[in-house]
A and B are shown apart, each in its own frame.
Chain A
Amino acid sequence: MRLYSFLVFLLLLAMPTFACADSASSGYLFELDGLSINWGSGLISSSSEILPMQDTIDPQRTKALAVRQSGVKARKNLLDSILNLRLTSKELVSGAFEDEMKGAALLRGFVQNSLLSTQDTSDGMVKVTASTHIRGELSSIIIPATLPFLSGIPPTLSDNRDDENSQNPSDEEGAVVNSSSYSGIVIDARGMDIVPVLLPVIYDGKGIGVYGPFIVSREAVLKNGLVAFVTDTPFSRLRERVGNTPLILTPVSTHGTVRGNVILSLADAAKARAVLTRKSVTDNCAVVIMMDAPKVEVVTPELGVDGAVSAGSVQGGQASSVDESELQEDSIVDEGTSPALKP
């Protein structure tokens, strides 16, 4: 009975932890060749495995060399993947560093101080994983300070928007929403093949921005990320991000070179705008985009007529775009004592 009471008490203490399960565990997870990006929690990691040279005189040194070679590769891949993140629907992170030597050096230094874990696999390999959070300090490096946040001026789509717009003409503006009754916004974009980007824009049916960097502060974006991308999951697991009573909307279309932006109907856009008048929503970037789980197969990117690329192929397809850039530095390898190559 005593033990039972104590266990009940411990359970009560632990309850809030379970109740506050955030979007991290349900985030859209992109995985490819040891690279993993969780668009819910913002955790990005890269792993590399090396088989240390066998039967050496100094196994400790051999392992240290293997850790180094593997770590160099993991961090190189991590830097590559950061540079290949989509900043907006039009631009990659690497684009922001083209003429930014200081920022590039800062990013390299940041990645070289990323979290690092080492483990020995059952087949005798040394596996090193480098990881970091997109949000926080990394965001402050990769999101250009020159980008206008909280400008209050919504962006508008270009004239060729008509081709992409599948807006239902019967939609009407004017839906009345009590903003105080909603604690955040969930955009249910499942089935729309959208691609996660760091700074997406949500437009209305007339092509006028509803939500994006123009409506939130840079500090809020650095801390929370503009949106969290999650996969098919119960709404209760998104509570920490969007509160208990989020407004759930279904977009009518996507927009952008890689379908990084979504378009709401006019009625839904009016509702969203009402909710976004709440300071707590914009301060915490309480917006989540729900999408389908990533496709398992890797597809070679094929640019369509409108420039759109299918989800799941984008990250992998772009991985080589910065390999030759000056942002990457050659790794230092101790020749002559290099571990055996990966079989």
Chain B
Amino acid sequence: MIFSKYIKKSIFVFCALIITTALAVPAGAVKVQVFKAGEEGVSTKDLRTEAVAQAFAQALLAESVRMIPVTVSADRSDALKSMFSNNYESFISGYKDMDVKYHDDGVTIRIDVNVNRAALRDSLRNMGFFASADKVVKSAVVISNGTYKLNAKDQAARDAKVKELKSLYAVQDVAPGTVDPLASTLKITQVGKKSFSGSLDSSNGNWQSAGNSVESVWGRLWTKYYESVRTDDTMNPKAVLVVNGWFNSDGVREFGRLLKSWDSAVQEVQLLDVEMKPTAVSASWSLDVSDQWVLKSYLNDFLPPRGLSYRIDGLSEEK
């Protein structure tokens, strides 16, 4: 009995150690596992392709949620995942260790996805995910078919797409003509078979755009809008990292390169200063910290064994 008690305690400690170690490992590739149920008439190859796309979308959503400084609403999160399902190529820089298992009722994909975080971050910013505290933007949205007539099915599809775009870009529709000085007006009109033009009038500015779909015109106009309010963005905490202990500036340059590669934890890394003291060389960088725990994990792994010490200024313990 006592022996088994010891075993239980030891196994518990062992498992706790493994879990702690696993959690302490800084995030690199995003690991995801998805199950895609089989459908009648869908070949195994197509099912696998759909499952891989779903896995990519899942990985991008997970990374986006980690990156965005505020909590995203369920509607907006769903719209984001739907967008990633159809448009993931530009955000994926590679993948590895794909494990595909076929079952009687579907397929399971386990995969490590390398996310292009810089591209993802830019795209999220253009969609307003970093805009002030996840507030919605009030806007009168007028989508006109112009002289073109759509059948009921196409019209329903377009309406559904516009609804999804509203969720994705945090646009709250207000009735045209509403007297609200903060409300903007978006107008998109179909001017050709595959040609649309649009305008966005807001208190921050007026913009025009054209494209081959409602989606493309919508995206361009709202990107311009969110660029205009970028100064109000709810950014990740800005911090200054100071590292001390090099013997010459070669080490500073190499560490700066490494720091930029830790894009799962920090972005917008800028070298601020290099100070040559008689005892050691120190350097400081400004950075946006998206995950301070991962950053500290990287720093603690890398710096002390190399005789380097660090401090982070301007960071609270919250994020």
Footprint of B on A, CB under 8 Å? 2, 5-6, 9-10, 13, 61, 64-65, 67-68, 71-72, 75, 105-106, 108-118, 329, 331-332, 334, 337
Contacts and interface: CB of A to CB of B under 8 A. Distances in A.
Given A68-B279, A71-B307, A6 B3 contact: yes
Interface of B: 2-3, 6-7, 10, 14, 246-248, 250-251, 253-255, 257-258, 276, 278-280, 305-307
Contacts of B10: 6, 9-10, 13
B241 to A, nearest CB: 15
A72 B247 contact: yes
A72 B248 contact: yes
The 5 closest A-B pairs by CB, nearest first: A109-B254, A112-B251, A116-B307, A334-B278, A64-B279
A111 to B, nearest CB: 8
Given A2-B2, A6-B10, 7 more contacts: A9-B7, A10-B10, A65-B279, A75-B247, A106-B254, A109-B251, A109-B255
A75 B257 CA distance: 20
A326 to B, nearest CB: 13
Contacts of B247: 68, 71-72, 75, 112, 331-332
Contact of B254 (A64, A110, A331): A110
A114 B306 CA distance: 6
A111 B306 CA distance: 10
Nearest to B278: A334
User: Per DSSP, are chain A's interface residues mostly helix, strand or loop, or mixed?
Assistant: helix
A115 B306 contact: yes
B278 A113 contact: no
Contacts of B278: 61, 65, 68, 334, 337
Contacts of A64: 279-280
A334 B279 CA distance: 8
A72 B248 CA distance: 8
B254 A329 contact: no
A258 B236 CA distance: 57
B263 to A, nearest CB: 18
Contacts of B279: 61, 64-65, 67-68, 334
Nearest to A6: B6
A116 B276 CA distance: 19
B280 A68 contact: yes
Q: Most chain-A CB neighbours within 10 Å: which of B254, B258, B280?
A: B254
Given A113-B255, A337-B278, A108 B305 contact: no
Contacts of B7: 9
B305 A2 contact: no
B302 to A, nearest CB: 8
B186 to A, nearest CB: 49
B304 to A, nearest CB: 10
B2 A113 contact: no
A109 B257 contact: yes
Nearest to A111: B250
A176 B251 CA distance: 54
Contacts of B250: 105, 108-109, 111-112, 329
Given A2-B3, A9-B10, A64-B280, A331 B248 contact: yes
Given A5-B2, A9-B7, A116 B305 contact: yes
Nearest to B7: A9
Given A72-B247, A106-B254, A109-B257, A115 B305 contact: yes
B112 to A, nearest CB: 15
Contacts of A331: 247-248
Contact of A332 (B3, B248, B255, B257): B248
A106 B256 CA distance: 12
A64 B307 CA distance: 11
A284 B102 CA distance: 29
A329 B251 contact: no
Nearest to A110: B254
Contact of B6 (A5, A114, A332): A5
B299 to A, nearest CB: 13
Contacts of B248: 72, 112, 329, 331-332
Nearest to A334: B278
Given A5-B2, A68-B247, A112 B276 contact: no
A65 B279 CA distance: 5
Contacts of B246: 112-113
A332 B14 CA distance: 47
22 contacts: A2-B2, A5-B2, A9-B10, A13-B14, A61-B279, A64-B280, A65-B278, A65-B279, A106-B254, A109-B250, A112-B246, A112-B247, A112-B248, A112-B250, A113-B246, A113-B254, A113-B258, A115-B306, A116-B305, A117-B305, A331-B248, A332-B248
A334 B7 CA distance: 58
A244 to B, nearest CB: 26
Contacts of A68: 247, 278-280
A331 B251 CA distance: 13
A108 B307 CA distance: 17
Contacts of B306: 113-116
A343 B201 CA distance: 80
Contacts of A337: 278
Contacts of A113: 246, 251, 254-255, 258, 306
A339 to B, nearest CB: 11
Q: Most chain-A CB neighbours within 10 Å: which of B246, B255, B257, B279?
A: B279
A337 B278 CA distance: 9
B225 to A, nearest CB: 42
A6 B6 CA distance: 7
A10 B9 CA distance: 12
